[in-house]
Amino acid sequence: MVNNLVVAGEQDFHFSASKAASILAPDSLRLGHGHRPAYNPPMPTLRLLFDWSLYRLALLLVAPLIPLRLLWRGRRERGYWQHWGERLALGSAPVTGALWIHAVSVGEMRAAQPLIDALRTAHPDTPLLLTCMTPTGRATAESLYGDFAHIVYLPYDYAGLMCRFMRRMQPRVGILMETELWPNLIHAAARARVPLVLANARLSGRSARGYARLPALARACLARVEVVAAQSEADAARLTALGAVSAHVVGNLKFDITPPAAHLERGAAWRQHWGQRPVLLAASTREGEEVPLLRAFVAAPADVLLVVVPRHPQRFDEVAGLIAASGLSYQRRSAVDDAPLNPATRVLLGDSLGELFAYYAACDVAFVGGSLMPLGGQNLIEAASVGRPVLVGPHTFNFEEATRLAVEAGAAVRVNDAAALMESALKLLNDAPARARMGEAGLAFAARHRGAAARVAALVPKP
């Protein structure tokens, strides 16, 4: 909501006490699935009216910027120029009466895979609708689920658009991955009597403080979520403090993702093409991380290969320029394909999508990015599940529980900066027994925390 606002489209911005009351009053559930019980909360307070006014004012102010934002982002990622009708909830519905899962982008869409498998097993005759917000999220959904799911963009969080989306799609159940708490989405689902589940829910202390800026609105939204399936006790406690009424601790769905055998084989083949040399992987790097990483790597032994895989594909060319500016010889994965790597190459740019497991399988040590800068980190579970030693920076607040558990298990080491990262990585590259111990600890760590998909699936209301 407040701390991660995404908006677009059209909206009636007239606001009144009677409109606010409809958000929480029982008659707001008059549409859709009549078998769902109506929620009967107290009338809205002045603070709720104030919070809703601020939120809708923010939507109004940014509305003119939305087409410009899509056009601007489309310069580097052409997918933003496509499917605008879906973002406005226009056109015919690809499916109705589906089990609906919303995953904003790549990480959430991939995390949903074990849950989708469990739900398809439990409800084989129910169609599946997947929504996302980014072109890369859509591409991920199409590659993983395109054979059986209907995939569209979710409209931005305007009341008119969300109500139209619910009328068109008529989903039976909605599952929101991680922390997709959008007030108008939740309100429209309540009006249509679509029960909502917050799955793989996580909420860092920083995010909790952001939601707490509009406390009445946060509480009203969470009160309308039928089930909250939280990753950890800390996440459940923060969500409950904000207003969740049914929070269950079920673990992290990402532990249930099995490394694809084809990707492991691909990584082994790459390693043969790269030659007998130590390989350090910098996975899911974010803006501001590559430059200090490359500077620290310049002094590394010449036989060490650094593989850099940026988190966002629109940055591939930018990162290629950064590597060139560092003076290090480099090649691009897209250009090398399956050919042998030049022995003089110091850096390989991983400019490909959907191959992260293969990169993990091909490396000796993995640094998981987004953690050298205050960006919250990325998912280290995948690297551990392949049995690779993991290094992370100091900023992992979006993955704090998983990172803490990995460090405690001996599967990961936390470093303070790029220089310390390189020092730790080179030490591990020269110590095969230490790498083996960390790799085995990572495999045990990943296996020990599996089972969240079955627990979440059991909490989902029957479609």
Cα dihedral 402, 404, 406, 408 sign: negative
Cα dihedral 370, 373, 375, 381 sign: positive
Question: Which one from 86, 108, 289, 401 is the annotated catalytic residue?
Answer: 108
Active site residue 287: no
Residue 111 near residue 253 (C-beta atoms within 8 A): yes
* Strand arrangement of the beta sheet that strand 150-153 belongs to: 150-153, 128-132, 99-102, 173-177, 196-201, 227-230, 247-249
**Pairing mode, strands 128-132 and 99-102:** parallel
Beta bridge partners of 338: none
Q: Hey, is 129 helix, strand or coil? A: strand
Long-range contact list for 443-449, CB < 8 A, 24+ apart? 443/384, 443/385, 443/387, 444/409, 444/411, 445/384, 445/405, 445/406, 445/409, 445/411, 446/255, 446/381, 446/384, 446/385, 448/409, 449/251, 449/252, 449/255, 449/405
Identity of the amino acid at 403? T
Active-site positions read 108
